[in-house]
Structures are given as structure tokens and as C-alpha cells.
Structure 1
Amino acid sequence: MKYCRCVQYRSSIRVCEAQKKILRALGLRKLGKSKMLPICPSVLGMVHKVKHLVRMELC
């Protein structure tokens, strides 16, 4: 299974509650934190919804 590294690089202070919940579901809680996530349609959909807050790097 392929993985990607998601890094939160922007704050979630002025975003709607749904996007905050998506960040928590991805395991990102603070700026600069990263998480290794499997590449699957559900994860890619969540990353797409918060693409202005996170960076995705393929591993």
C-alpha cells in the first residue's frame, strides 16, 4: 500500500467547523505536524477539502 505524508502548514482558526473536524480526522492538530496516511479515495477526498491548509508529499 502506498503512503503519503500530510503536513499542516496553515492555521485552522478561521475555517468552518467541518474543516476542523476533517483535520482532526486526518490526525493533524497543530501547525507543522505531519502524519503518514494511506493513499485511498476517502483520505484523498478529505485532503482535497482542506488543500488550502495542508501539503501532501508522496513517499
Structure 2
Amino acid sequence: MATIKIKQVRSKIKSPKVQKLTLEALGLKKMNAVVEHEATPQILGMVAKVKHLVEVIK
């Protein structure tokens, strides 16, 4: 499967707790942090939930 890089581009300060936990589950703890994951349906679903806070880098 293909890998994707996910970068946090906005702060999670005023986000709901569910979105904060989703960022933590993706491994994003700080602004401009980049993590690499396999493009599984579970990961893509988590990215969709916080799409306004993250950017997908191909």
C-alpha cells in the first residue's frame, strides 16, 4: 500500500476533544510536525475528520 505524509498546519487549541484525540492517534503533537502512515481506510478516515487541521503531502 502507498504511504502518505501528514502535516499539522493549524493549532488544535480550540478544537473539540475528539479531534485532539484523533491528532494524537495520528502521532501529531506539535505544529508543523510531519508523520508518515500507510494509506489504509482507517488512517484516511482519521485524516478526513481533522482535514481542516492537517495537510496531506504525497
Partner of residue 42, structure 1: 42
Separation of aligned partners in 1, 2:2 and 2:51:
20
Root-mean-square deviation over aligned CA pairs = 0.5
Partner of residue 6, structure 1: 6
SS at match of 2:51: coil
- Gaps of at least 5 residues in structure 2 are none
Separation of aligned partners in 2, 1:2 and 1:41:
12
TM-score by length of 1: 0.96
The runs of 4+ residues in structure 1 deviating greater than 4 Å are: none
